[in-house]
Amino acid sequence: MVDEHLRLLGEGIRERRSALGLTQADLAELAEMSERTLRDIERGAASPSIGSVERACAALGLRLTAAGDFSLPAVQASQRGDGS
C-alpha cells in the first residue's frame, strides 16, 4: 500500500511539473532539493519527508491536503465558477 501511495505521489508531482513546462532541474531548484531526490520521488522510489513534499507542492502551486491529495489553491477553483 505504501509503495502505491509513493507511486501516486510521484506521478502527481511529475504530471503537474510537466504541465507547467518545468524540467526536473527547475523544480528541484525551486523546491530546494537535489535533482536526484526529485527523480526518486517522481519514480516512487523514495519516501520523502513531508517538508520535501510541501516544498515541491508549493513550487508547483499545489496544496497538499491532510489526506495526501493534491489540490489547486482555492482562488483558482473559484475562478472556475463552481463555488468549490
The predicted-structure confidence for 24-52, as pLDDT tens digits, reads as follows 999 999 999 999 999 999 999 989 998 99
Indicate the pTM of the whole model. 0.76
Q: Quick check: 66 pLDDT over 90?
A: no
Domain 2-79, CATH: 1.10.260.40
Closest CA to 16 of 35, 42, 36, 44: 42
Q: At 76, is the pLDDT very low, low, confident or very high (cuts 50, 70, 90)?
A: very low
Distances (CA, A) of 8 to 44, 61, 70, 83: 7, 18, 11, 27
Alpha carbons within 13 angstroms on the beta-carbon side of residue 46 total 18
* φ/ψ (deg, to 5) at 39: -60, -45
